[in-house]
Structure 1
């Protein structure tokens, strides 16, 4: 908009004319409206900084939060209502049982109003310790003396040795060991025959390792490992599983079925080595244990009575799904399956090419020694890799299958070797739209962005874990591939909300468990209907 100046003004009188003094006062400091708004915004931030800090103090200390009183000289426009209720509407009202305060009573003795002139400066919250320096020789001796004193005070009440319950409580409190590790350590030190553990045997074990100044993961590792070896094997975790089966309240219902106890323990150990033993050697090292979440899972066992809430490794529902899936394929129930059995997995979703690669033991040598047979341990590796292709172990499993020449790269010619069978299967399906190989390659290239065009390395897959499974599904799992191609974005969004925070494996296990449980309920109802209310041997006449 142009501003018309009166005739004869100093601006129109010439370029060198000077402005009158009054005109200089009227010139704004910020000629741009946006800059003026920025100035107001900065001023508002400075005025309210102390108010916000005081409110944060109330939140951190657990005191009820009140809306800030307007500063002196500030008035709310009559055209717009106060907006303080908007700030605090997200917090629920106080419980009726909460202590009532008089309107004249301040929230805290240090603060009687929330005006900027009377607010305290908020101190910085202390950060959790993130650097743990090695203790000095003097510090080690002091910590050692303190540890020995605490152990002595515990054993003073038990001069003839500690029984199981007080011993487990002692190592949990003094040594910070999870309860299930404490039960395992008791069995180890007592030899499984004695009912007590002496102070001398405990101190000898604890100081010889040495464990007094070791981190928690090191202490747990050395409680399991055998003397003379620096790794854990399957058998080293069996005492832990015995403790969990005997003492965790979530598994009491299994005590009457020794066979399923054994299978549950085996499955959990296989799952632990599947995720933690990244080298795949069957020898779990301390370094691998440090990089895992195994300790967190053990600590979760202490907090959760429902073992199904411990999704990592120990969930009984997960074991139930794995075992039932294997049982469905193992028709003769000899705990071995062949190519034809595995071909029925997932309603025949897998291609014959990938099944051949699995039975050629390319991704992993079988534990089953009979030719052409897959054992239960091998099936656990397979199903964990098939149902969650985003884990590192699964990516390595399937990468080795597809990398035909084992040169560390997957190229289009190797993809075509597997996709050709998929294409023929799609052509034979009614009402199925064929997806051309060129389209698949282009789509996957855009998803994964390989460092070298036309050559997918394992590193490329691990950089794009959520999308990596799509390539493998396209190559050998027709059911999952077609579901992705025909996906409904609204249904996917709803599913993502329902299973938020769960891995692909957790989601699969949850769905399958409810399906299997529903089938069992229907079967029981059917059997009861056939037998009648008086049992199978009694007819309606009561004979």
Structure 2
């Protein structure tokens, strides 16, 4: 029998109490109790208490164990209702009883309270597009916009500074404003075009986050895709003083732009869709970074997204692995990263379905440049939430949302084999597992969840233990709690990625300087005045020229195309 509803239980309890308070019921219960005390059997044959009485009280159906063999005598007319329809009499009596009960009184009190309740106006506390501003503020902005157009008539792409300032927007919003209003390279903005767009934006969006989001997205779209960032980042490349040297190398513009876009998506897009939603955009620091671009002339001081030194390190690392320079790398290429530091099993997992690469990349067995950016950021800084999720997805082979003991053993087996091959003392898996469980302290003792790793401040040690032998051995020689003590201090330290990028950049610059010096030393040779070229020397010089031509041909090509999630085309 199913569980009774609360109001039905109240009625049944009340009926039971009414039956128990009947005089006949109490007499029968006393008789039965005395028989039980004497050890005699109780006679369950119906008695007069279970039949309809002359005063009209029906017997409770709860005690009718068996029906009498003989129907009851016909009641005296006008004294009791017909036994064919006891329900009417019973209902009237029950209603009278309920009206006098505490339950009925409770229902009546509630009904009276609801009828006397006054409506409560709860002020709106959630504003998905920002808290509305005073209409007068927007009117003043529109007046300033009209003044700008009265002086310029139409506004072209390179004349957006004054209009952007009139709207009260940061400098690098100008290309978003220009394109949202319908402007193009050969189509200037008119006052009607811009005012129509701006009125629509300020009527729906009331803060900077929602307004910039609306300016960036395509019409009738509720997310920012990778290509939506391109005009804004291109404007940064063209106008920021810290990137002026790139004007002489236009072939690197698209590579820098797509590196910046890849870093933005990596940090902001937490849903792994490549589409940034308004809540994700609002939680990010995009607005503050764009404002900092306007204030800081040294682009390398802006370590979030735009640092050229970071781009240089990423691109050089990719170029070293991309053996055929088609801007795609395969498993073999990726295995050479950091002198084969990663295990082959984690690399296989990276290229597997449902992990961290797009379905097209997995199908073709190739990693794009954008996906390499995400890989390198995750590999060199395993303390960020995105990097933890990146490697968790790679280690979760069955995709059940947990790292089982089997999965941990699967990755640790290759680490053991490597250590044995190098003659390093190994740690059995059982002992390693105990250490890792003590390190992570999972809520469920036999498996580790993503939440457990994000709550653990030493997740980077956990990951390196299972697939990066070089870093694992490095951690074994350090105090694992030293970094935790540094985090507790008030001094803000650079992230692991910033440290890595700074070190690698210095090495790359020193290596390039050494190559240039070697080239200068090779050409700085004193020849005698009577030096004459013979045929062999001519052939040698020609071979050198040919080698230089081949070397020049091996430089990064000026135009390449690659796709990210079948949406972004870079040319």
Aligned CA-pair RMSD? 3.1
In structure 2, the residue matched to 1:245 is: 237
> 2 CA distance for matches of 1:490 and 1:463?
15
5+ residue gaps, structure 1: 1-129
Does the 8 A contact of 1:225 with 1:231 survive in 2?
Answer: yes
Matched, 1:143 2:137: yes
Matches within 5 A, 1:320-339: 320-339=312-331
In structure 2, the residue matched to 1:417 is: 410
> 2 CA distance for matches of 1:437 and 1:396?
24
5+ residue gaps, structure 2: 1-124, 533-571
Pair 1:456–1:491, CA change in 2 (3 A) = closer
Pair 1:269–1:239, CA change in 2 (3 A) = same
Pair 1:541–1:420, CA change in 2 (3 A) = farther
Pair 1:244–1:136, CA change in 2 (3 A) = closer
Matches within 5 A, 1:59-98: none
In structure 1, the residue matched to 2:174 is: 182
In structure 2, the residue matched to 1:439 is: 431
Does the 8 A contact of 2:209 with 2:281 survive in 1?
Answer: yes
> 2 CA distance for matches of 1:490 and 1:288?
33
> 2 CA distance for matches of 1:135 and 1:201?
25
Matched, 1:408 2:401: yes
> 1 CA distance for matches of 2:485 and 2:435?
25
Give the alignment partner of residue 284 of structure 2, picking from 269, 292, 295: 292
Pair 1:335–1:196, CA change in 2 (3 A) = closer
C-alpha offsets along residues 20-39 of structure 1, whole Å, 9 cap, x if unaligned?
Answer: xxxxxxxxxxxxxxxxxxxx
> 1 CA distance for matches of 2:150 and 2:209?
29
Deviation (angstroms), 1:298: 1.1
Q: The residue matched to 1:311 in structure 2 has which SS?
A: coil
Pair 1:378–1:144, CA change in 2 (3 A) = closer
Deviation (angstroms), 1:162: 3.7
Deviation (angstroms), 1:487: 2.0
Does the 8 A contact of 1:140 with 1:213 survive in 2?
Answer: no
Matched, 1:428 2:428: no
Matched, 1:315 2:307: yes
Once the two structures are overlaid, the 10-residue window that deviates more, 399-408 or 316-325, is 399-408
In structure 2, the residue matched to 1:264 is: 256
> 2 CA distance for matches of 1:422 and 1:136?
55
> 1 CA distance for matches of 2:523 and 2:262?
40
In structure 1, the residue matched to 2:499 is: 507
Deviation (angstroms), 1:531: 1.8
In structure 1, the residue matched to 2:146 is: 152
Give the TM-score normalised by structure 2.
Answer: 0.65
> 2 CA distance for matches of 1:134 and 1:418?
46
Once the two structures are overlaid, the 10-residue window that deviates more, 510-519 or 401-410, is 401-410
In structure 2, the residue matched to 1:485 is: 476
> 1 CA distance for matches of 2:513 and 2:131?
63
Give the alignment partner of residue 467 of structure 2, picking from 458, 472, 476: 476
Pair 1:153–1:395, CA change in 2 (3 A) = same
Structure (1 or 2) with the larger CA radius of gyration: 2
Matched, 1:390 2:383: yes
Does the 8 A contact of 2:154 with 2:191 survive in 1?
Answer: yes
> 2 CA distance for matches of 1:305 and 1:519?
27
Deviation (angstroms), 1:376: 1.3
Does the 8 A contact of 2:268 with 2:284 survive in 1?
Answer: yes
Deviation (angstroms), 1:161: 2.6
Does the 8 A contact of 1:449 with 1:460 survive in 2?
Answer: yes
Larger RCO: 1 or 2 (CA < 8 Å, sep 6+)? 2
Give the alignment partner of residue 207 of structure 1, picking from 196, 199, 217: 199
Deviation (angstroms), 1:300: 1.2
In structure 2, the residue matched to 1:451 is: 443
In structure 2, the residue matched to 1:170 is: 163
In structure 2, the residue matched to 1:462 is: 454
Pair 1:500–1:148, CA change in 2 (3 A) = closer
In structure 2, the residue matched to 1:301 is: 293
